[in-house]
Structures are given as structure tokens and as C-alpha cells.
Structure 1
Amino acid sequence: MTEYGYFLAAEEHGPRELVEQARMAEQAGFTSLWISDHFHPWTGDQGESPFVWSVIGAISEATSLPVQTAVTCPTVRIHPAIIAQAAATSALLNDGFRLGVGSGEALNEHVLGDRWPPAPVRLEMLEEAVTVIRRLLSGEEITHYGKHYTVENARIYSLPDQPVPIDVSAFGPAAVEVAGRIGDGLITMMPDTAAIERFRKSGGGQKPVRGGTKVCYGPNRQEAIRTVRRLWPNIVIPGELAQVLPSPAHFEQAAEQATESALADAVVCGDDPDQHVAALKAYEDAGFDSVYVNQIGPHQQAFFDFYRSKVLPQLAG
């Protein structure tokens, strides 16, 4: 049976708001949490980007829900050895913590002046980074001289009893195959049965598949569509562009042509429970094990009340 979690958008909300949303999600009946890991928001109107590892610590004291990063890039801005330590500590604080990783975006990863490599190199770096993280999470002292990373005499002493699962985010076919080869699960944002099949044939087998989607609940559908246009026009930016643009200002420029019609097609807007249920059922029908929903905009408490009373009960069976 597909499980339903809440997706905390750290690009749109500050740390205290995220912790409060985690509490509300648990009270509404969601069973787990995703949280994004960014240095920048996608656009200036989103306006936030707290340090994810601090927020995870606070959430772990506020709720009993397991948390997963969706997703952390362990390749450029932060060395994989540091990500391994952060994941180990988070797992000690949060029962059920999972590390979600991906090959990242220039938006977040170029900020220290490092070169942003092409996609095949990014995937190569991700694979080596996951190798380093897994070795450190085993508790051994490691020395690693790889193509992209060096680690000398490193050991993580504060470790959970069980290894931290590492799920890999993927969109294109090459990334899906890497996820199947190195991941404990797949993370993707579309109910794409072909991608799931490729993941399973590439080594993923019956490992879990997790997906995320955005909605904009509100009593006035047109107002909700305008809210999406104001806060998340970037969700319709296609292909590789979202991985190579370096700043929120560039995303704003790229999203200028995003029409309300296109955004309404991409995001369920309004207060029709059947539309919300149908959007989530598409993931269930595609074979997803977990789906994480994010509410865009200001109606957070109303959203959780709506899902608690009118949406999640229809998905329980």
C-alpha cells in the first residue's frame, strides 16, 4: 500500500515554519516527511533557504515522523565525508531517517566558485560520493584517493545501529540507471512507469520508489493558480535548464513565459478533493511506495485540515 508523506519546502518557508508544518503534518495523518536541501531558493519570491541539517534536528524533537532529505547534493558545495557525518547524526536523532541524494543544480552548488561540470561528470561524482558516504557510515576508518574526492584517516564515531539508507534522485535514463545500481531506493517527481521499470531492471529490484508532487489548496481556484504563478513558476522549466542556471534571478527570467494555464496543468489547484485524490492515485497506480505532497502558499493549516478530513481518508484503502 502506498504511504503518504508531507514535503517540506525549505525554499518557501523559514526554519520555525517548517518545524510547525512538520507538527501539523503528523496531526493530519501524514506518515513521514521530505525536506528540500538548498543554498538558494529557486526564485526571490520564494524567499527562504535555511540550513537543512539544523532544521532536521529541530523537527526530530518536535515530531515522531521519519525524515528524508529530498534531496542533498553530496558532490560540490559540501564534501561527501561531511554529508556522511550529518546523515549519521540525523539518524541518531530521527528514527527512520533516510538520506536522499542527487547530482544537484548549479543554483546551489556553484556558490563557492567551483566549476559546474556536465551531467555525465556529475553522475560520476555522485557515484563516487555515495561510495565514500557508505564506507564512512559503516564505522570504519577510511582513506580514499579517488578521481574526485580525497579522504584521509576519517572515521565517524557517532553512528546509528543500522546503516542509513541512501535513496538516489533521478530524472533522465542515465541517472535512473545509476540510481538502480547504487541506491537503496529511487526518488523522482513524476509518476513515470518507464522510469520505475528502468530502475528495477538496472539493479533496483524491489527497492522502494518515492515520489513528490506540489498542490495549491485554496477556496478560490483562480487565486490558487495565481499563487503558483507567483511562488513556483519554475516548476515548468524544462529539462537540463534547471540544473545549469546559477541564480534565482536566472530562474525568474526563464519562468517569465510560464503561463497560468501551463501551471494549472502541472499543479492541482483549488479545493476539489477528487482532483487531489486523483493526482496522488496516479503515483499509486504507477507503483510508487511513498508519495510526498507539498502545499504551495499561505493556506497551510487549512491544507492540513483539508487533507486530514477529505483527502487522506480516500487514500487509506
Structure 2
Amino acid sequence: MTRFGYTLMTEQAPPRALVRHAHEAEQAGFDFEVMSDHYFPWLDEQGHAPNAWATLGAVTQSTERVELMTYVTCPIMRYHPAVVAQQAATVQLLSEGRFTLGLGAGENLNEHVVGRGWPPVNIRHEMLTEAVEIISALFDGGYVSFTGDHFRVDSAKLWDLPEVRVPIAVAVSGDQSVRRYAPLADAMIAVEPGAELCTEWDRTAREGTRKIAQLPICWDDDRDAAITRAHEQFRWFAGGWKVNAELPGPAGFAAATQFVTKDDVAENIPCGTDPDAVVAAVKPFVDAGFTDIALVQIGGEHQDPFLAAAKERVLPALRA
């Protein structure tokens, strides 16, 4: 059975609000919650970017049942993989075994802040592979030393390891990345309903691993207001990840999406209060073979009406 999640978007809400939303989403009946990990929002209109890991620590205490996940953390520049492993193990302990570490090759938007430039995609994938190997080794316990082409680790050890090993999910975008990461990961992350991704993942990965996707919606009684808000805050999606990963800041995203219209957004994002529209948008992911789908409600100040509707209308429609 497909599991449905809620997205804690750090780009559109301050940390205390995110902690409250996490609690309310659990009460609404979501199966899991994912949190983005950004240093910048994509667009100035979104207006926020608190630290995901500090916020996750608080979320572990405001929730009791839902699984938690980063969607996604980049462990190749802004964070060293040994530090990511320590953070993930700590969140797993705080959540009592409810955490999955979602990893990806990152975006220039967030990683440029450490002043190391932005490598080409093939180098980023090499770095991510080494990072996953380091993190996995640290999760195994004991001292870890590692010398690779991109990272060194000198006698690192996680002194507080959870009894439940932290599962690792990795974001993929095509056959090459699936073949690279499926043998290393416990779950797949993708943002498009590509059946070929799921088929290749199942062919390569361990049996029964999860395949996790994400879908933006804009719930509002006023459909025109929903479309306007989605256009203001989420038109960045139109560039696709191959472009989005390279843009250096919100001004770049604003320039790259200046010709995206409200009609373009309305065609791609369910706007309004029709649960059937959400079901229709989710269906391609289910048909493709995804096991978990996290919804994004666009607009940090518009979570409460959506969460109320999710409990009464959206989740029942999806599960039916």
C-alpha cells in the first residue's frame, strides 16, 4: 500500500512554525514527514531557510509516530560526510528509530556558500558515492579511516550509535545514478514519475526497498489565489533539476523563471480544494511504482487549512 507523507519546507516557514506543523501533520494522519535542507530559498518570495538539523531535533520531540527524513541533505561540500553521519545518528536516537537519511548531490544554490566553487555533475556524483561509503562505514560502528579522491577521514567514530541503523535513501535522476547508488542505498528518491527509474532500481537494489517521491500542491478555497501563490513561490520547478542544480541564488531562479506563466503552474500543480485533483496528480507516481509520496503544501502561512483538509478529505481520498 502506498504511504503518504508531509513536507516540512524550510524554505517557506520559520523553525518554530515547522515544529508545530510537524505535530499537526502527525495528528492529521500522515505516515511520514520529510524536511528540506537548504541554506537559501529558491525564490525571495519563499523567505526562509532555517537550519534543518536543529529543527529536526525539535521535531523528534513534537512527534511520536511518524517517520522522519531529510529530503535531501547534500554531504559533499557544506557538510562533511562524517558530520552528516553524526547528525543522522543523533536524530535517530532522538526519534527512537524513526529517521531515514535522504542524500543527494546538491545544488549550487546552497553549497556555494562555503566558497569552494561548484563542481561538474560527474564530480559531484563521485563525491556523493564516497560520502555514502563513509557514512555507511560510520554507521557500522568502530573507527573509520578513509582516503578517496575527494574525502579523507582520520580515525572517526560515532560514540552514540542507535540500535536501529539509520536507513540511507539517495536521490537519482536516471539509469546511471540508479546503477551507481542502488547497491549502496536502502531507498530511492526521485521527483518525476519515471517508471523506468523504479524498474531499474528494483532490478539493481535490495528487494523491497522504498521508492520515495514528492508532489507540490496549493490548497486554498480561492483557486485563483492558490494559482497566484504557487506561481510566486514554486515557479522554480519549471527549470528541471539539471538546470536548478546549477543556479547560484534566488536572483538566478527569478531570472530563469521570468517567463513561466500562471497557466504553466496551474497545469502542473493541483490548485484549489479538489481532492480528486490531488489523486490524479499522485496516480502517475503510484503507477510508476513509487511506494511513498510526500505532499508539499505551498505557502508557509497556509498549512493549517491544508492539514485540516488532509485529515478529513485528502488522505481518505488518496487511500481509497
TM-score range relative to shorter protein: over 0.9
* Counterpart position of 1:271: 273
* Counterpart position of 1:307: 310
Q: What is the TM-score normalised by the length of structure 1? A: 0.97
Q: Does 1:35 align with 2:35?
A: yes
- Residues 179 and 185, structure 1, Cα contact 8 Å, conserved in 2: no
- Residues 167 and 179, structure 1, Cα contact 8 Å, conserved in 2: no
Q: Does 1:289 align with 2:285?
A: no
Which of 190, 195, 198 is the aligned partner of 1:196? Answer: 198
| Unaligned runs of at least 5 residues, structure 1 | none
* Counterpart position of 1:89: 90
Deviation of 1:287 (Å): 1.6
Deviation of 1:58 (Å): 0.5
SS at match of 2:122: helix
* Counterpart position of 2:24: 24
The alpha-carbon distance between structure 1 residues 151 and 239, as it changes in their structure 2 partners (threshold 3 A), is closer
Q: In 2, distance between residues paired with 1:162 and 1:274?
A: 38
SS at match of 2:180: helix
| CA deviation string 1:124-152 (max 9, x = no partner) | 11000000001111111011111111111
Alignment of 1:1-317 (within 5 A): 1-64=1-64, 65-94=66-95, 95-297=97-299, 298-317=301-320
Q: In 2, distance between residues paired with 1:286 and 1:307?
A: 23
- Residues 57 and 93, structure 1, Cα contact 8 Å, conserved in 2: yes
| CA deviation string 1:37-69 (max 9, x = no partner) | 011111111111111111111001101122100
| CA deviation string 1:232-263 (max 9, x = no partner) | 11011134210111111111111111111111
Paired residue type of 1:102: G
- Residues 70 and 101, structure 1, Cα contact 8 Å, conserved in 2: yes
- Residues 179 and 199, structure 1, Cα contact 8 Å, conserved in 2: no
- Residues 100 and 168, structure 1, Cα contact 8 Å, conserved in 2: yes
Deviation of 1:176 (Å): 2.4
Deviation of 1:204 (Å): 4.9
Deviation of 1:270 (Å): 0.5
Q: Which moved more, 1:296-305 or 1:223-232?
A: 296-305
- Residues 226 and 272, structure 2, Cα contact 8 Å, conserved in 1: yes
Q: In 2, distance between residues paired with 1:204 and 1:264?
A: 38
The alpha-carbon distance between structure 1 residues 204 and 110, as it changes in their structure 2 partners (threshold 3 A), is farther
- Residues 9 and 35, structure 2, Cα contact 8 Å, conserved in 1: yes
- Residues 187 and 211, structure 1, Cα contact 8 Å, conserved in 2: yes
Paired residue type of 1:45: E
Q: In 1, distance between residues paired with 2:162 and 2:29?
A: 27
Q: In 1, distance between residues paired with 2:179 and 2:12?
A: 31
| CA deviation string 1:185-215 (max 9, x = no partner) | 1011122111111222233543110111110
Q: In 2, distance between residues paired with 1:242 and 1:175?
A: 17
| CA deviation string 1:13-57 (max 9, x = no partner) | 110111111111111110110000011111111111111111111
- Residues 147 and 153, structure 2, Cα contact 8 Å, conserved in 1: yes
Q: Which moved more, 1:1-10 or 1:202-211?
A: 202-211
Deviation of 1:278 (Å): 1.8
Q: What is the TM-score normalised by the length of structure 2? A: 0.96
- Residues 276 and 317, structure 2, Cα contact 8 Å, conserved in 1: no
Q: In 1, distance between residues paired with 2:108 and 2:304?
A: 33
- Residues 214 and 295, structure 1, Cα contact 8 Å, conserved in 2: yes
- Residues 275 and 317, structure 2, Cα contact 8 Å, conserved in 1: no
